[in-house]
């Protein structure tokens, strides 16, 4: 058994999402800011007539704000309640990962980060963190 993951980078973290959950990947889009919105919400994008909320993964993961020279990419994800876009630093390849490599998140991770990670895949030379998409889309 193996699973395909669409991968991306946020800061120096290497993340993956099950490929079936990903709708599309887009270059940076112009956004409409939402005043008073929770901090993780960066704005609204017009995706061919559909309005999609963009969440800043750096903020969701409690990382430092993205430096201005890095233009984020949109990783549009399907969910039960419509599409949501995750703003990430860089898009990686789609990787096929053997399910033997999958492991639970070590308990020693700080609670805030641990919640966002569903599991860890041990790859050659690096670790792929599987994003807990449900948690990532949930504000408070």
Residues forming the site for other proteins (CB under 8 A): 30-38, 40-41, 43-46, 49, 51-53, 55, 81-82, 84, 111-112, 115, 135, 137-140
Q: Shortest approach of other proteins to residue 14 CB, angstroms?
A: 25
Q: Which is nearer to other proteins, 20 or 51 (by Cβ)?
A: 51
Q: Which is nearer to other proteins, 49 or 65 (CB)?
A: 49
The CB-of-5 to other proteins minimum distance in angstroms stands at 24
Query: How near is the Cβ of 124 to other proteins at its closest, in Å?
Result: 34
Q: Which residues of 73-101 are buried (b: 16+ CB within 10 A; e: fewer)?
A: bbbbbeeeeebbbbbbbebeeebebeeeb
Between 55 and 129, CB nearer to other proteins: 55
Shortest spacing between CB 132 and other proteins, in angstroms: 11
């Amino acid at each position: 058994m193996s699973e395909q993951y669409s991968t991306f980078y946020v800061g120096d973290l290497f993340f993956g999402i099950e490929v079936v959950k990903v709708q599309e990947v887009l270059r940076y889009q112009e956004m409409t800011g939402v005043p008073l919105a929770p901090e993780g919400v960066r704005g609204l994008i017009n995706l061919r007539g559909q309005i999609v909320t963009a969440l800043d993964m750096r903020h969701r993961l409690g990382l430092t704000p993205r430096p201005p020279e890095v233009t984020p990419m949109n990783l549009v994800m399907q969910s039960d309640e419509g599409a949501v876009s995750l703003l990430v630093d860089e898009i990686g390849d789609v990787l096929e990962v053997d399910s033997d490599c999958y492991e639970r998140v070590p308990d020693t991770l700080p609670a805030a980060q641990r919640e966002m990670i569903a599991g860890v895949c041990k790859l050659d030379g690096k670790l792929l963190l599987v994003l807990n998409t449900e948690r990532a889309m949930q504000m408070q």
